[in-house]
Amino acid sequence: MIFTSAQELEKILGKKEDFLNDFSKEINDSLELKKSVKKFSLIFCDERIELQGTDITFLGNAIREHLKNCTHCYIFLATLGDKIDRLSDKLQLVDLSKAYILDTAANEIIERYCDEISNEIEKEELSKGNKVTLRFSPGYADLPLETQRQIIKVLGGEKMGVYLSDTLIMKPFKSVSAIIGVGKKAIKGSRDYCAVCKNNKSCDKRICK
């Protein structure tokens, strides 16, 4: 279970208030957790990395560094669903402090959900003698945000109710797409992405910190 009680909400928010009991129930009732996970072989080309059997391509130096030594990767899509967005829209009109609490809690919940998915993948691969990388998402460093469009399509985002707006914002808002590399010598841990990132000449060095 991702999120169960007012006590959990208290931990996240660091505050104790009576209304949290009712509010945590309201948040839980609004959760519609969904995920889609697939594994692909990687094909390293000169300027890009392809995922075999799909039209997904990864561009940029940072993802190449991230997937160094990997032979495969998982892509996954996770969402808390649309009800949370609707609850947030409602609260923003009537109770801004509750809307803020919801946003904080929802960020924590989607993060925990992604951790759960990542841990399942790691457990599965460790049992086969493989290692995994950390998560890496489109929009991070010089991996284009547009990559989300191909990932959503391949993972059946439409069936999950996940889509991308014209401005590349994922809806529902609390949705995440991510890439996890796999290989006997995959490196777990973050790297100096700034050193290889194509944006490092113009970047104010804050985006990925």
Interface with ligand SF4 (CB under 6 A): 62, 141-142, 193-194, 197, 199-200, 203, 205, 207-208
Q: Which residue, 134 or 208, is less far from ligand SF4 as judged by CB? A: 208
Q: Which residue, 13 or 145, is less far from ligand SF4 as judged by CB? A: 145
- Least Å distance between CB 104 and ligand SF4? 24
Decide: 176 and 110 in contact? Cβ < 8 Å: yes
Q: What type of residue sits at position 207?
A: I
Q: Which residue, 3 or 136, is less far from ligand SF4 as judged by CB? A: 136
- Least Å distance between CB 193 and ligand SF4? 4
- Least Å distance between CB 197 and ligand SF4? 3
Q: Which residue, 155 or 179, is less far from ligand SF4 as judged by CB? A: 179
DSSP state of 16: -
